[in-house]
Amino acid sequence: MQMRRLMLIASLATMAKCLDQDMSGEAEECRASERGRGVSIFSPRLWRSTGAWSMQSEIRETCATVTSSRNRSRWECTWTTNQSLAAVADMVWLYAGMYNREEHQASLPPKAAGQQFAVFEGEPKHKHSLFWSWAKIGRGHLFDFEVSWKLSAHVPSLYCSYADWKDLYRPPPHEWSTEALVSAFISNAAASWERTRFLRELMDLVPVKSFGRVLNNAISPPGTEGKVKSMRQYKFALVLENEVDNDYVSEKIYEAMMAGVLPIYKGAPNVHKFLPCSHCVLLLDNFNSVQHLAQELRRLDQDGAAFMEYFRWKKES
């Protein structure tokens, strides 16, 4: 299961009730509504650099919940990358990362009268700082809406959709592997903080299975299901965000909860706003050293009752 950025579609349901175009291939041909009669979301570029538009099936599934009322609604929506349709689209949908250079900003389609521009951001804003230093958002500006993981955005787009929450209540396994205490999935060594160094120090103190490209010593089956299955073998899962910023809570912590293991978390200072529980995570910031954390992991490994207290919410909720 992917837990990506699909809440943005449901959140825009007041403007767009469906994405009914078959997204197979590169989705270059789409039908456009007349402006004023519906909503056509035009996206000049999809995330082709990361694969063949990996979210296409999820978009269809997410939008299925709103298409049932389509015949009773005046709204229609089409998703397209056809450049010629930008002029007739009601809304032009742009990804901030694709316009983080001046030459890309110059290629923005002109904004027609009555048209709205929405900008989508899925990364911490400092990664696309040139775009955000240039872009102005709000009434009277080029961009009318911000869609991002920020709770303050016009349309907050969170990494965990409501449909995924049922899987978070999966209980812990009855048995654990004795090969390691902790699992880790870290593949980006260029994070803004020294999580590679942290992982190396932790591996010197407690047994860790590292399934990512960083300090790799284990192999996991592909996909989210494979990741969750691998996590489920070990009592603790290292959940270290790429960035430390309020509201930036990725799918990582939810995957650990789906696996029924105890997350060791470093990331958004306000992460508890995004969790269904208050006592279910070990916050790395509460430990004054890696040695202190390792000591607590060994204690919880030996004290079964204390360890299971972190999962009481799964029974009570």
pLDDT digits (tens, 9 = 90+) for 93-126: 777 877 777 777 777 777 888 788 888 888 877 7
Range of weakest confidence among 18-27, 149-158, 267-276? 18-27
CB-based contact 243:270 (threshold 8 Å) = no
pLDDT of residue 117: 83
pLDDT band (50, 70, 90) for residue 146:
confident
For residue 294, pLDDT over 60 is answered with yes
CATH number of 165-316: 3.40.50.11660
Written as one letter, the residue type at 245 is D
Is pLDDT larger for residue 67 or for residue 166? 166
Percent of the chain with pLDDT over 90: 36
pLDDT of residue 37: 33
pLDDT band (50, 70, 90) for residue 143:
confident
pLDDT of residue 236: 98
Is pLDDT larger for residue 195 or for residue 201? 201
Mean pLDDT for 272-285 is: 92
pLDDT band (50, 70, 90) for residue 139:
low
Written as one letter, the residue type at 114 is G
Tell me the DSSP string of the chain.
Answer: ---SS-HHHHHTTTT-----S---TT------PPBTTBEEEE-S--SGGGSS-TTHHHHHHHHHHHHTTGGGSS--EEEE--GGGGGG-SEEEEEGGGG-SHHHHTTPPPPPTT-EEEEEE-S-GGGGHHHHHH--BSTTSSB-EEEES-TTSSEE--SS-GGGGGGGGPPPPS---SS-SEEE----TT-SS-HHHHHHHHHTTS-EEE-SSTT------SHHHHHHHHHTTSSEEEEE-SS--TT---THHHHHHHHT-EEEEES-TTGGGG-S-SSS-EEGGG-SSHHHHHHHHHHHHH-HHHHHGGGHHHHH-
What are residue 117's DSSP bridge partners?
92
CB-based contact 183:238 (threshold 8 Å) = yes
Domain locations along the chain: 7-156, 165-316
pLDDT band (50, 70, 90) for residue 271:
very high
Is pLDDT larger for residue 248 or for residue 316? 248
pLDDT of residue 83: 64
Mean pLDDT for 58-70 is: 42
CA–centroid distance for 202 within its chain = 26
Instruction: Count the Cβ atoms, other than its own, within 10 Å of residue 195.
Output: 21
pLDDT of residue 85: 67
What are residue 262's DSSP bridge partners?
236
Digit-coded pLDDT (tens) for 38-63: 344 444 444 333 332 334 444 444 44
pLDDT of residue 209: 97
